[in-house]
Amino acid sequence: MLPLLKIDNLCKTYENEGVETKALCGVSFSIKKGEFVSIMGPSGSGKSTLMQILGLLDRSTEGNYFLNGKDVILMNDDDLAFTRNKTFGFVFQAFNLLPRTTVFENVELPLLYDKSSGGNNQEKVLKALKAVGIDHRQNYFSNQLSGGEKQRVAIARALVNDPEVIFADEPTGNLDSKTGVQVMEIFEKLNQEGHTIILVTHETITASYAKRIIKVLDGKIVSDKLISEEKRRLAEMRKKIK
């Protein structure tokens, strides 16, 4: 079976006034459907740049990226936009919700850009809201919600198109520890239901929810390890104590 995502010798170089900066260099790995992977590293390590390339928000400078066996480099901008909307859901640290818009309307937004969605927006939105336990807030405005509720809405918005992959970039960064645990438990549940989760974080506790951790430093992969069930159970015990 082909991997869902496969990158080979990926590099990303930024140029500013003639000065080149390598954000990524020689990055290679693959991710199977149904995995829960954490990409971990300090600020400036290249992990967010890597997520943007994997999520088709940016292009690499060198190397290959295959999505479901298709070479991304062959896609034009329209192909990239269509694939990004149908295949991926995104959750960000800052929530990125429209402030004077209801919870329902925020979650519906990706469907409005998808001409092939086939209608039934209300059913799809309510299903996504129920999946994260926020359907009772559907008529609230996003600026009336707590941080944890905002992140649940952001996750519901990422879910509404039933994507193959959910990218989460520092999803607990603006939350207290207790709320962060609740949000990570939602991602854990979604993974158990079959969603592929790719999490970007610098926090060890947040990363421990994944089943595999890829560590990035100075634009290169320094380790790629599966987390054993025993270690995961110990990590969960520590979270409960806290």
| pLDDT reported for residue 45 | 93
| pLDDT reported for residue 90 | 96
Residue 230 has pLDDT above 70, yes or no: no
Residue 242 has pLDDT above 60, yes or no: no
| pLDDT reported for residue 17 | 82
Q: Give the chain's mean pLDDT.
A: 91
Q: Write out pLDDT tens, residues 46-59.
A: 999 999 999 999 99
Q: In this structure, what token pair is assigned to residue 221? A: 């992969």
Query: What is the percent of the chain where pLDDT is above 90?
Result: 76
Q: Which amino acid is at 33?
A: K
Query: What is the percent of the chain where pLDDT is above 70?
Result: 92
Average pLDDT over residues 217-221: 96
Residue with tokens 């992140």: 151
Q: Write out pLDDT tens, residues 69-124.
A: 999 988 999 999 989 988 999 999 999 999 889 999 999 999 987 766 666 899 99
Q: In this structure, what token pair is assigned to residue 231? A: 């270690």
| pLDDT reported for residue 115 | 64
Q: How far apart are CA 1 and CA 4, in angstroms?
A: 9
Q: Write out pLDDT tens, residues 22-39.
A: 999 999 999 999 999 999
| pLDDT range class, residue 231, cuts 50, 70, 90 | low
